[in-house]
Amino acid sequence: MICDDTFARQWLLTLLECDDVVMSRLDRLIAMLAIENDRQNLVAKATMSQAWQRHVVDSAQLLTHVPRETSGANWLDLGTGAGFPGLVIAIIRPDISVTMVESRSRRIEWLSTVVEALGLQNARVAGSQLEAVPTFPADVISARAFAPLPDLLKLSARFSTPDTVWLLPKGRSAAQELDQLKGWDHMFHVEQSITSDDAGIVVGSLLGRRTKGKQP
């Protein structure tokens, strides 16, 4: 379990992609976040003293559930907010195209500023409600505290294919939300987060809505 920022940075260095350039960009991201967080409440202020653990590694751990052969993949991050996990994924994996969906204007401005400042040519901000984003096949779909699982699937299933990897950090509600999910054929399971004993990540694939009359 990653318990503080020192261990968080050490863990990141175990990822093959985390070279000096990547770590420098992540440093800049956290520095920019600290400044912007005084202007708007991007993340809980109490988490800033452990930003590497609570935000960077909490985002980067999702990559351990994605095959390394996903170079050139399309990653869709729903309700990206302050840019977690979207910005972190874009920094660590420049070979993946990351689309970050966010509807709040000040956060859209923040995300766009970071993308430009860090030169993230593989990152795009879709500044609108998810319903207005044109459909495209996503190789990976992530959502961190975006919506309850049934609502999330209803809003975003149109982006999914049978091969899409879903990565949904759900905190302590992960198992309960998955147990209560009805009306969908899926191959989801819960993985333990490495940043919190209480947190789980819903991981897997979505096959579609259940056919009428099929038992849950």
Q: Over the stretch 55-85, which tens digit does the pLDDT of each residue have?
A: 999 999 999 999 877 778 999 999 999 999 9
Is residue 166 within 8 Å of 141, Cβ to Cβ? yes
**3-class SS at 14?**
coil
Could you read off the pLDDT of 83-121 as tens digits, one per residue?
Answer: 999 999 999 999 999 999 999 999 999 999 999 999 999
Amino acid at 20: D
- Two structure tokens written together for 153: 């699937």
The pLDDT value given to residue 89 = 98
Average pLDDT, the chain: 94
CB within 8 Å of 61: residues ≥ 6 apart: 193, 194, 195, 201
Is residue 100 within 8 Å of 126, Cβ to Cβ? yes
Could you read off the pLDDT of 8-30 as tens digits, one per residue?
Answer: 999 999 999 999 999 999 999 99
User: Where do the domains of the chain lie, and which CATH numbers do they carry?
Assistant: 5-209 (3.40.50.150)
The pLDDT value given to residue 53 = 97
Model confidence at 212, pLDDT cuts 50, 70, 90, reads low
Strands (E), the chain: 74-78, 97-101, 123-126, 140-143, 165-171, 184-192, 200-209
Number of helices (H), then strands (E), in the chain? 8, 7
Distance of CA 126 to the CA centre of its chain: 15
The pLDDT value given to residue 145 = 81
The pLDDT value given to residue 72 = 84
Q: What is the dihedral of CA 3, 4, 6, 10, to 10 degrees?
A: 40
Q: How far apart are CA 35 and CA 78, in angstroms?
A: 24
User: Residue 131: pLDDT above 70?
Assistant: yes
User: Residue 216: pLDDT above 80?
Assistant: no
pLDDT cut 90: percent of the chain above it: 91
- Two structure tokens written together for 124: 């795009």
CB within 8 Å of 46: residues ≥ 6 apart: none
